[in-house]
């Protein structure tokens, strides 16, 4: 079973100003794969993952938010996604929420 999360920004102008920077941050995560289907999507895969999926998690950069789809709960989730959320929270005020809109 997967987990759908969303990063919601208090100030959309801050997100718009820093969106390219956030994509770069995501592509520099240790579990980021070199290939993704779009420049607005970053796939993560833990190096020793036994999961059969092409990715453990993917980060989708939308116009007004960042969506995070988690399929595997290895280091790509427990370390890299948390690191990514901390990095963007240092730049813009944001809240990580689950698919019900509840803080995660």
The model's pLDDT over 60-74, given as tens digits with 9 standing for 90+, comes to 999 999 999 999 888
Angle between helices 82-89 and 12-27 (to 10 degrees): 140
The tally of domains found in the chain comes to 1
Q: Is the pLDDT of residue 1 over 70?
A: no
Please give the Cα distance from 26 to 42 (Å, whole number): 7
- 95 versus 36: the higher-pLDDT residue is 95
Using DSSP's 3-state secondary structure scheme, residue 19 falls into helix
Residue 11 lies in a domain: yes
* Angle ∠(88,51,100) on CA atoms, nearest 5: 45
Is the entire prediction scored with pTM above 0.85?
Answer: yes
Q: Is the pLDDT of residue 25 over 80?
A: yes
Residue 104 lies in a domain: no
Q: Give the per-residue pLDDT at 73.
A: 83
Show the domain range for 21. 3-92
What CATH code is carried by the domain that includes residue 41? 3.30.310
Q: Give the per-residue pLDDT at 102.
A: 93
Rounded percentage of the chain residues whose pLDDT exceeds 90: 76
Please give the Cα distance from 51 to 76 (Å, whole number): 12
């Amino acid at each position: 079973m997967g987990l759908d999360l969303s990063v919601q920004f208090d100030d959309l102008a801050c997100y718009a100003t820093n969106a390219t920077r956030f994509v770069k941050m995501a592509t520099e995560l240790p579990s980021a794969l070199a290939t993704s289907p779009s420049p607005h999507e970053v796939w993560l895969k833990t190096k020793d993952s036994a999961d059969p999926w092409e990715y453990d998690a993917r980060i989708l950069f939308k116009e007004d938010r960042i969506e995070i789809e988690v399929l595997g709960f290895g280091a790509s989730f427990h370390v890299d996604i948390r690191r990514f959320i901390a990095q963007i929270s240092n730049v813009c005020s944001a809240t990580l929420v689950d698919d019900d809109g509840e803080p995660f």
